[in-house]
Each structure stands twice: as C-alpha cells, then as structure tokens.
Structure 1
Amino acid sequence: MSEFVLLLPREAKVSPLHAFFKFARHALDMDELGLEIVQIAFPAALALTADPLASLIDTAFIGQIGSVELAAVGVSIAIFTQVSKVAIFPLVSVTTSFVAEEDAACRMTTEEPEKGDSGSISIRDDMKLVSHGASDKTWNGLSFWTGVRVKMDKFERKHIPSVSLALLTSGILGLLQAIIFILGANPILNFMGLTHDSPMLTPARQYLRLRSIGAPAVLLSLAMQGIFRGFKDTKTPFYATVAGDATNIILDPILMFVFHLGISGAALAHAISQYLTASIMLWRLIGKVDLLPPSIKTLQFHRFLKMGLFLLVRGIALTCCMTLATSMAAQQGSIPMAAFQICLQIWLATSLLADGLAIAGQAILASAFARGDYYKASAAASRVLQLGVILGLFLAVILGVCLQFISRLFTEDGLVLQFIQTGIPFVAGTQPINALAFVFDGINYGASDFAYSAYSMFLVAMVSALCLVILATSHGFVGIWIALTIYMSLRMVAGFWRIGSTWGPWSSLRV
C-alpha cells in the first residue's frame, strides 16, 4: 500500500503462521499491551453482545406467541440487521481508525510540542507533518488529517473533524433507512421469499415497519460507538447499550402481554430503547468533543468517502451473503426458518465476542501507526490473533455442551428443536473460525487496509453465494449451514493469506 512506509528492505515471504507464534508465550500476559487490549476489548465485546442478546430475549418472548410469528420476526430482524450493516458498517470502521489517528496526533502535539509551535496541525503531505510556526518534521505514520486543531487546555473539548462527519452521515442514512423500510416493506419482504400468500408476511411487515421508527437512533448509536472506540473508550458505549437493552427487556413483556400488542410491542420496545442508547452516548460525547467543525474543509469528505466506499462494497457483499442464507431458510418453511433464526442469533451473539478483540486491535494499531510505533503495531496484531484462537476454542466447547439446553429457552416446539439440534455442530464448531475472521478484519482496518478487505470479501461472497444456492437446494437446512461454514472459512483464509503476502502492510511490519 502506498500509505505505508517500509522500514526495512523486503524479505522472503513470511509464513502466515508466524503471526501466531510471534510473542506467543506472552499471549496471556497482563503486561502494558495485554492490559490495554483487555481494557478496550472487554467492554467492547460486552457492548457488541448486548444487542444480539436483547434480540435473543425478543426471540424468546415472541417464541411464546407461535412459530409463525417467530419465523416472521426472524426474517424482519435479518433484513434490519443486514441493511443496517451496509449503511453504517463502513462509517463505524472508518470512523474508528480516523478518530484514533486524529486523537493520537493531538496527543503527540500536546506531549511533544515543537518550539514555537502554535498548537495546530494543518497539513499532511507525502508522510510529512507540517506544523504552523515550526519547521517541518518527518512523520512515518498513516495518512493524516488536515485542519486538526488541538486545544492545549485539557479542560477544553477536542476538535475532531471526523466526529462531526460521522454524526452527520449517520443521521441522514438513518432517516433514509426508516423511510425505505416503512414505504417499501412489501417488496423487501417479497424479495426475502415471503410471498403474498405466506402466513409470515403480515406479522413480518408489521414488525419491520414499527421497528424502523428507531432506525435513525440505531445508526447514530453505531456511529458514536465508532467514535468512542477511536478514543479507546469502550466503556461509554457499553453502559449506554446496557441501559438501552435493559429498557428493551423491561418493555417487551409489558407492551407484548400487558397491553396485548404482540410483536408490535416488541418492535416498539426496541425502537424506544435505541433512542435512549443514542441519547446517553450523545450526552457523553458533547462533553468530550466539539461537535461543530472549525470549517467545512476540515471534514475531509474525499478521503472519508474513498475509504468508506471500499467498506461499502465489503458490507454489501457480506450482507448479500447473509441475506441469501436467511432467504434460503425462509423458503424451507416456517419451522426451519424459526430454528435457523435461533441458531443464527446465538451464532452471531457469541461470535461477536471476538469482535471485541478486533476493535482493540484496530484502535491500537491505528494509534500506533499514527505515532510511528511499528513495533507495537506488530506486537498488537500478533497478540489479538493469539487471543482470538483461545477465545474461539473456549466458545466452541461452551456451545457444544450447553446449546442443546439453551435452545429450550426460546421454543417448546418439538419440530423446531429437532432442526436446532441439527444446527448445533455448525454453530459450535465454527467458533474458532469466526473468531479469527473477525480479528483479521480488525487488524486490517487498524492498518487502513480497507481496499484488500473490500476485494477479498467480494470474492468470498461470490463463492459463498454459489455454495448457498447449490447446497440449500440439495441438502436443505444442513446445506445452508455447510455453506455458512465455507463462507467463514474463506474469510479466515483471506486473512491468513494477507499477513503472509510479500506486499501490503504486513510485509513492511514483518508480521
């Protein structure tokens, strides 16, 4: 990548396994790096799993109404989740990296000011940091931002242009998403395989439209999570998410059963909880950052959109693959779809624990690159990969033992439980693969390797979609899970190949 500065001449191709063995004996050490990873990863993982767990509780309540309603809500949740990822995923990931870079630059300026430095940094050109009132100094970091104004008084709020841009973009996208879902519910659900004569169509449409009311709050919340991650603050999103999800859990039975709103009550409870979550994070952000940029020029639309487009392509590819899997399950009937919904929610909720490590890796790597600390970047990449393997194996054992008992919390339907039993080996067995796939994503984002992430995901999705169509047609429910296993395995292999390549960031860092 042109964004990277080679520290050393290129060497022979590095084995991908080198990243796992490098510093391996220190994988569980609580040294400075280990503590930093834990302090970022643990609250991030809890925040990430809080929302899927709330969806699981929604699923458990809705499962008491009936299998048709459970399957219908499963289709609607899949649509909402996947489209939200397409709309906000690029924004969250890019914002995390950019905020981490800007924040690191601010700290560098306040900690090591040049003589005569006015405290403002205005332009980055060909890896040089140009400071007004000071001589140029070479900076071997990742790309920098123009117009980053650093306030020397620690009590004043920071000026981080990407914060303003992220909030503006997420607000617009949230409104558009709500309008599209409310007005286009029927064609969207038809695309998902729910025809006009399907018993799932009416409850699915009702749930999708009501839950869409909370779309602006959802996207704003996710954008602010990316902002706080860039500051290496994952506690604030965790507390806000827990408050919102607790509200959702409390309102679910009240609206569904006390006020007899059924699945409409579940949708409204979720929307209300999302606005509470967004309000808490916005309140905290106002005290930390000046939300109004110094000028429009400082927003850096061009670079933000360029990197965002790469991840938009990646998000679309990922979403198409997962949406196709849900659609193929819906075509199997309400019973297989209900079982697929329960298995998928558990699969995603547990796998997202590894995403906490990915977030830690991204934030630490982006900050390390901005400071020119390549040793820490290399060590952090290896550490989070090793921890990902350990976490994946742990989750596989836990789910393999407990999932057959946990599934009864969501439904008492014997036919649905039979399908769930079939899916347990796939849900449990793929955990190490999922963990590595998530962590590889995080370290690539931390290195601003967005282009490779987009291209590789596009190829993986093409192959996986073909497998889904073929295997779902020939092997039904089992075929869908075999195809999803292939999908996650290909994502993991793409990460392995990247760190062993002779081009790109990892050859420069000797990972």
Structure 2
Amino acid sequence: MPEVSARRSRAEPSPSRILALALPALGVLAAEPLYLLFDIAVVGRLGALPLAGLAVGGLILAQVSTQLTFLSYGTTARAARMHGSGDEAGAVREGVQATYLAVGIGLAIIAAIQVLAVPVTSLIAGGGDIAAEALTWLRIAVFGAPLILVAMAGNGWMRGVQNTVRPLRFVLVGLGLSAVLCPVLVHGLLGAPRWELAGSAIANVAGQAVTAVCFVVALLRQARSAGPPVSLRPDSAVMRAQVVLGRDLILRSLAFQACFLSAAAVAARFGAAAVAAHQVVLQLWNLVALTLDSLAIAAQTLVGAALGAGSATQAKGLARRLTEWSTVFAVALASAFALGHTVIPALFTDDAAVIDQIDVIWWFFVAIMPVAGVVFALDGVLLGAGDAPFLRNATLGCAIVGFLPLIWLSLVQDWGLAGIWSGLTVFMVLRMLAVVWRVASGRWAVTGADIQAGR
C-alpha cells in the first residue's frame, strides 16, 4: 500500500508541472512547422511553381511519416504506464525497441518512394511542371525518413518518462542547421551553388541527421545508466506489442492521409495558385494543431502515468482540466489569426493570385481552432489511456462521413478551396462530438501498467 500511494503521489500533477511538460513539448511541436513555414517563405521567392512543387513533395513525405506516429504516441503511452508504475528500465526499453522499428521502417520507405516517386507525384499534382518540381525535392528529402522516425521514437520514450526539455534541445539544434543551410543552398548565398528546390531538400536532411544522432546518443546513455542496464538487443516481443498498438494508430493515420492527399490532389486541379494557397494555410493549420497538441502531450503523459499508478479518478480530473486549458488557448489563437488576416499571408508570398486564394479559406481556418482545442486535448487523454481502437473507428467514420465527400464534391461542383475547407470543418466538428462522448462515458479509464489491460 505505501508503494501504491507513493506512485499516486508521484503522478499527481500541479499546474506548474503540467506547464513544465507542455511548454517544451510546444517548442518541439511548433519548431518543425515553423521551419516549414520558413522553408515555404524561402522557396516562395522562387515563384508559384517551385512553391507548388514543395507543397506536393512535402505533403507526400509528411503523409508517409505521419502514418507512423505510433513510434511517438504509442511509445509515449506505453512508456508513461511503466513510468507511472515505477518501471523506469521498462520505459527506456520501449525507446530502444521503437528505435529499431524506426530504422527498419525508414529504410523501407526510402526504397518504396524511390521506386514510386514518379507515379505518386504525377497522381497528386496531375502531371506537368508541378509534378516535375515535386519529384526533384522528394527524391532527395526522402533520405530523411529514417531520421525523422528515429526522432519520433526518441520523443516518444522521453515524453513517457516526463522529460520534454531534452527533446526540445535536440530538435532546435537540427532545425537551426536546416534554417541556416536552406536560404544559402536555395538562393546560392555566400558563394554556395544555387540549387533552388533541391537545396531545400538537402538542408532538411542535414538538420534531421543531427537531431536523430542526438536522440540515439541520449538513448544509449540512458540504457547504460538504468538500473538494471537495459539490453540493446532487438526484442521481438516488445516490438510486436508496439506494432499491435500501432496498428490502430496507423489505420487512424490512414484516414488523415486519405483526406489530406485528396484535398491536395483536388486543390492542384484548380491550378498552381490554389495549391500554393492551400499549402500555406495548411502549414499554418499544422502549426496551430501542433501547438494545441502540446497540452495533448501533457495529457497523454500524465494520464498514462496516473492510470499506470492505479488512479482512474486522477486521470478523469486531468482530462477535464486540460480540455479547459486547451479550449481557452485555442480561442486566443483564433483571435490572433483573425486580427492578422491581412498581414500574415503576405509573409509567405507576394503572388496576388495566391493571396486571393488564401482569402477564400482564411475564415474556415480561424473558425475551426476552438473546436480543435477540445478535439486535440481529448485525443491526448484517450491516447494516454491506450484507447486506440476507439480513436481509429471515430477518425475513420468522421472522415468517410464528413471530410472525403465534400473534398470530391468540390471538384465535381467546382467549389474550389472553399469546398475543401468546408469538409475539414465538418470533419473537426464530428470528431469533437465523438471524443466528448467517449470521455464522458468513462470506459477509457482502465488502470494498470499493461496498456492492453481490459481491452
């Protein structure tokens, strides 16, 4: 009994503890889309066609990597349960095995993309000059896939043991290098060759390599210092358990992929200005989503630890508190973007046609932010609880009913970007209704160190 009480006490978070987890996580989550926006601004000075190529190529690579978010979110959920139960070596072991998975899957992605790059870029961009630009970028940038996945695995186990500061440092070092190299290689500054869109891809891979090395070194040191030391050998049983949890998260990610790939494909058929505008606002949306996700990561980490320590009541209290905080934060963000609607788009392009298309979808973007505040917080709660089957079913259902029909109707009925972003709005509202109902039911709050217990 004293041991259980100690675990529960250790899992009880104060507001300062929540912020100590959320703020560095915010830095990690916001750093990548901020860099991508910087990348867009650098490439955007080359014109609408290279920007459209970056949009298509970047979307393909992003969708491939985000399909594998179980390496981050699944690892966090499993490591947080073990951390909450007092098994620190077990939490680090999750990181070791997730890293093995990351390297293996990443190498497979490189091979697949190199083989399929031409038909995939042509399918999404509709062929022509946009597809050619996207192909140039993608063939280089895909070599960063294993590096991105290693960083995901590293973020996952570190969040699980409630260390969000070191991942922030690692990510900033890598992105800092990319930010220096990007304008130099794209525009040929400081005597460097002018590689244009290819320079953007090379800068990305260089920064990703630095970040991945930082995570691997940290994992090796933690494995040696754990008591007892953690084996560095591949463990098929642990990897199999991670893949079982990942299966539902992958299917959930596939729903997102189908929606956003369809949206990009339809936007591309409305012309270069439309797809460029869609990419700018989509990257801003990704920035907002990942910013809100910082509180979702705190929810995932703390809820997992509370359930691992045996306290369902504490987990439910965390769900309520973090949803309130996330909603208030989302409203503040929506207000800031509403006030900046005439200024922010001009930071990324001076092409009048692109600006006109951005104006069409800006208010959809603003309106869905408060809804996202609720959705992402409760997603984090359910991910921390290991309630992946429900999240899979809810996301698939909302995509099939809400988002996909409006995307393709936009093409058939010539609704343009307004139709596509109407679909995203309906999708978010349906997801909000689903996760609110699930959390209110209480059926997700299953205690114990084993994330599969009771499922």
Q: What TM-score, normalized to structure 1?
A: 0.80
- Counterparts of 1:114-129 in structure 2, within 5 Å, are none
**Given that residues 91 and 160 in structure 2 are in contact (C-alpha distance below 8 angstroms), is that contact kept between their aligned partners in structure 1?**
no
CA 1:472–1:250 in 2, change beyond 3 Å: closer, same or farther?
same
Given the alignment of the two structures, is residue 305 of structure 1 paired with residue 243 of structure 2, yes or no? yes
Q: Which amino acid aligns with 1:327?
A: A
**Given that residues 447 and 505 in structure 1 are in contact (C-alpha distance below 8 angstroms), is that contact kept between their aligned partners in structure 2?**
yes
CA 1:298–1:367 in 2, change beyond 3 Å: closer, same or farther?
farther
What is the CA-CA distance between 1:498 and the residue it aligns to?
0.9
**Given that residues 71 and 200 in structure 1 are in contact (C-alpha distance below 8 angstroms), is that contact kept between their aligned partners in structure 2?**
yes
Q: Secondary structure at the match of 2:341?
A: helix
Q: Counterpart in 1 of 2:39? A: 58
Q: Which amino acid aligns with 1:470?
A: L
CA RMSD of aligned residues (A): 2.0
Which of 412-421 and 463-472 deviates more? 463-472
Q: Counterpart in 1 of 2:293? A: 355
Given the alignment of the two structures, is residue 102 of structure 1 paired with residue 82 of structure 2, yes or no? yes
CA 1:225–1:450 in 2, change beyond 3 Å: closer, same or farther?
same
What is the CA-CA distance between 1:293 and the residue it aligns to?
2.8
Q: Which amino acid aligns with 2:382?
A: N
Q: 2:267 aligns with which of 329, 343, 347?
A: 329
Bigger relative contact order (CA 8 A; separation at least 6): 1
Q: Secondary structure at the match of 1:65?
A: coil
Q: Counterpart in 1 of 2:149? A: 219
What is the CA-CA distance between 1:51 and the residue it aligns to?
0.5
Q: Secondary structure at the match of 1:500?
A: helix
Q: Counterpart in 1 of 2:406? A: 467
Which of 174-183 and 38-47 deviates more? 174-183
Unaligned runs of 5+ in 1: 1-30, 108-147, 151-157
CA 1:193–1:298 in 2, change beyond 3 Å: closer, same or farther?
closer
Q: Secondary structure at the match of 2:241?
A: helix
Q: Counterpart in 1 of 2:363? A: 425
CA 1:211–1:301 in 2, change beyond 3 Å: closer, same or farther?
closer
Q: 2:278 aligns with which of 332, 340, 362?
A: 340
Cα distance in 2 for residues equivalent to 1:432 and 1:260: 42
Given the alignment of the two structures, is residue 240 of structure 1 paired with residue 170 of structure 2, yes or no? yes
Q: Which amino acid aligns with 1:369?
A: L
Q: 2:99 aligns with which of 158, 167, 183?
A: 167
What is the CA-CA distance between 1:161 and the residue it aligns to?
2.5
Cα distance in 2 for residues equivalent to 1:228 and 1:207: 31
What is the CA-CA distance between 1:172 and the residue it aligns to?
0.7
**Given that residues 400 and 429 in structure 1 are in contact (C-alpha distance below 8 angstroms), is that contact kept between their aligned partners in structure 2?**
no
Paired residues, what number? 426
**Given that residues 97 and 235 in structure 2 are in contact (C-alpha distance below 8 angstroms), is that contact kept between their aligned partners in structure 1?**
no
- Counterparts of 1:63-142 in structure 2, within 5 Å, are 63-86=44-67, 88-106=68-86
- Counterparts of 1:183-202 in structure 2, within 5 Å, are 183-195=115-127, 198-202=128-132
CA 1:497–1:472 in 2, change beyond 3 Å: closer, same or farther?
farther
What is the CA-CA distance between 1:76 and the residue it aligns to?
0.8
Q: 1:281 aligns with which of 215, 226, 247?
A: 215
Which of 264-273 and 498-507 deviates more? 498-507
- Counterparts of 1:405-416 in structure 2, within 5 Å, are 405-416=343-354
Cα distance in 1 for residues equivalent to 2:442 and 2:180: 53
What is the CA-CA distance between 1:274 and the residue it aligns to?
0.3
What is the CA-CA distance between 1:32 and the residue it aligns to?
4.6
Q: 2:18 aligns with which of 37, 56, 67?
A: 37
Q: Which amino acid aligns with 1:174?
A: G
What is the CA-CA distance between 1:476 and the residue it aligns to?
1.1
**Given that residues 307 and 445 in structure 2 are in contact (C-alpha distance below 8 angstroms), is that contact kept between their aligned partners in structure 1?**
no
What is the CA-CA distance between 1:33 and the residue it aligns to?
2.3
Cα distance in 2 for residues equivalent to 1:459 and 1:206: 36
**Given that residues 124 and 265 in structure 2 are in contact (C-alpha distance below 8 angstroms), is that contact kept between their aligned partners in structure 1?**
yes
**Given that residues 80 and 91 in structure 2 are in contact (C-alpha distance below 8 angstroms), is that contact kept between their aligned partners in structure 1?**
no
Q: Which amino acid aligns with 1:58?
A: D
Cα distance in 2 for residues equivalent to 1:186 and 1:294: 38
Q: Secondary structure at the match of 1:437?
A: helix
Q: Counterpart in 1 of 2:111? A: 179
Q: Counterpart in 2 of 1:46? A: 27
Higher CA-based Rg: 1
CA 1:306–1:382 in 2, change beyond 3 Å: closer, same or farther?
same
After superposition, give the CA deviation of every residue in 1:41-100 in whole Å (9 maximum; x if it has no partner).
1110111010011010110011100101101110111111111111x2122111001111
Q: Secondary structure at the match of 2:46?
A: coil
**Given that residues 472 and 478 in structure 1 are in contact (C-alpha distance below 8 angstroms), is that contact kept between their aligned partners in structure 2?**
no
Q: Counterpart in 2 of 1:374? A: 312
Q: Which amino acid aligns with 1:489?
A: V
After superposition, give the CA deviation of every residue in 1:87-139 in whole Å (9 maximum; x if it has no partner).
x21221110011112222336xxxxxxxxxxxxxxxxxxxxxxxxxxxxxxxx
After superposition, give the CA deviation of every residue in 1:333-389 in whole Å (9 maximum; x if it has no partner).
101011111011011112211100110000001111111122321211111100111
**Given that residues 159 and 293 in structure 1 are in contact (C-alpha distance below 8 angstroms), is that contact kept between their aligned partners in structure 2?**
no
Q: Which amino acid aligns with 1:78?
A: L
Q: Secondary structure at the match of 1:101?
A: helix
Q: Counterpart in 2 of 1:434? A: 372
Cα distance in 2 for residues equivalent to 1:298 and 1:479: 46
Identical-pair percentage: 27
CA 1:201–1:236 in 2, change beyond 3 Å: closer, same or farther?
same
After superposition, give the CA deviation of every residue in 1:122-176 in whole Å (9 maximum; x if it has no partner).
xxxxxxxxxxxxxxxxxxxxxxxxxx8x5xxxxxxx7733122101101111111
Cα distance in 1 for residues equivalent to 2:149 and 2:442: 38
Q: Which amino acid aligns with 1:94?
A: G
Q: Counterpart in 2 of 1:447? A: 385
Q: Counterpart in 2 of 1:22? A: none
